[in-house]
Amino acid sequence: MFFKAKEPQLNLLELVPHRLAKYDMEEEGIVVVKVKRFKYDWMAVAFLPKWKSHYIHTRLDSFGSHVWLACDGARNVHAIADSLREEFGEEIEPVNDRLKLFLQMLINRGFVAMHHADGTPVRK
């Protein structure tokens, strides 16, 4: 019989997130993530009124903004969790659980992607 080999479990803390979406910064340091409404520009021209933005804007809170700016493709999730602890202290605890949930939401929406420390992308 042939058995499919089990894939090794990924340790989220060792993975490196990087941003895929554009963003703007507000004066208070809050990040607003911008995602195109349509894949092709001609669709926006055909279906959107002229006064409507071609982008959907998602405004993050202070915790989310800190994480978003830390997702630079150089720091792993463990380093981001440590920077959250330094910045927000006890207010952010349990940091690992909150960070995991937030990163999963960003990945599901296509805002960020994960890769290993050596640069290879993480398969879903």
Give the amino acid at 38.
F
What pLDDT score does 4 carry?
66
Which whole number is the average pLDDT over 38-42? Answer: 85
Under the banding of pLDDT at 50, 70 and 90, the label for residue 13 is: confident
pLDDT for the residue numbered 120? 83
Boundaries of every domain in the chain: 12-115
CB within 8 Å of 56: residues ≥ 6 apart: 34, 35, 36, 37
CB 100 within 8 A of CB 8: no
pTM of the model as a whole: 0.81
68-116, pLDDT tens digit by residue?
999 998 999 999 999 999 998 888 889 999 999 999 999 999 899 999 8
Q: Which CATH architecture is the domain 12-115 placed in?
A: Alpha-Beta Complex (3.90)
The pLDDT mean for the chain works out to 87
